[in-house]
Amino acid sequence: MNGRSEIISVISVFVLLFMMGSVHAASVDLDGWTFTADLGDQWRLGPQVIETADSRGLSSTDYENWNFKGNMIINAFWLPKDSNYVAPTDIPSVWDGNSEDVLAGVDIKINTVPSDERGWEAKEILADFLLPFALGDESQKDIEFNGHPALLMESNEDSISSGLISVLMAEDTIVTIEVGTKPESDLSAWDVIEKFTISKK
């Protein structure tokens, strides 16, 4: 083999390795933001149905002034228990205790910061946004995610690991990744969350 052939072979190997490393990466777009993660070839994309995210989970009048309008995609990414086909409209929620077809699921949300809060500190905005969903102070961590201020909430139970991270991506925009994983997945919610990159289209 001459020198030129050796160089071509080495380049081919590097290209092959690069392709192998990126083949599992997948992206979902919502309201001008892109969520990208390399989760593995067992994961699937959901039907990408956009729903209103401004009132989900708010059942108490204590939060009647909560005014973060937005959109969400439920099961944007999900991990099936096996390779059996599941119709997009029938993908169960990982938080449904009666479902055995899904081992993990990822919901994504984009919410608009109310105009009267845009001068607040990032920590204050995120705390107000997550107030209706708070699990207690011990479950919350102020961190940086993708170079932006974020608030992480985690809850680990025997049946499911739940995690939610809300990121102040811009003065007027909060991006949220919510993850649930079952023990059979061998993943914690944070194992999934940390793989995501969020970018503006």
Cα angle vertex 109, ends 197, 19, to 5°? 30
Domain CATH code at residue 92: 3.40.1000
Q: What is the pLDDT of residue 157?
A: 84
In a domain, 126, yes or no: yes
Contacts of 48 by beta carbon, 8 Å cutoff, 6+ apart: 28, 73, 76
In a domain, 4, yes or no: no
Q: What's the rounded mean pLDDT across residues 140-161?
A: 92
pLDDT band at 26; cut points 50, 70, 90: very high
Q: What is the pLDDT of residue 53?
A: 78
Long-range contact pairs involving 126-131 (C-beta distance under 8 Å, separation at least 24)? 126/150, 126/151, 126/166, 126/168, 126/174, 127/151, 129/68, 129/166, 129/174, 130/164, 130/166, 131/63, 131/66
Domain count, the chain: 1
In a domain, 18, yes or no: no
Domain residues for 101? 25-200
Could you tell me the pTM of the whole model?
0.82
In a domain, 31, yes or no: yes
In a domain, 139, yes or no: yes
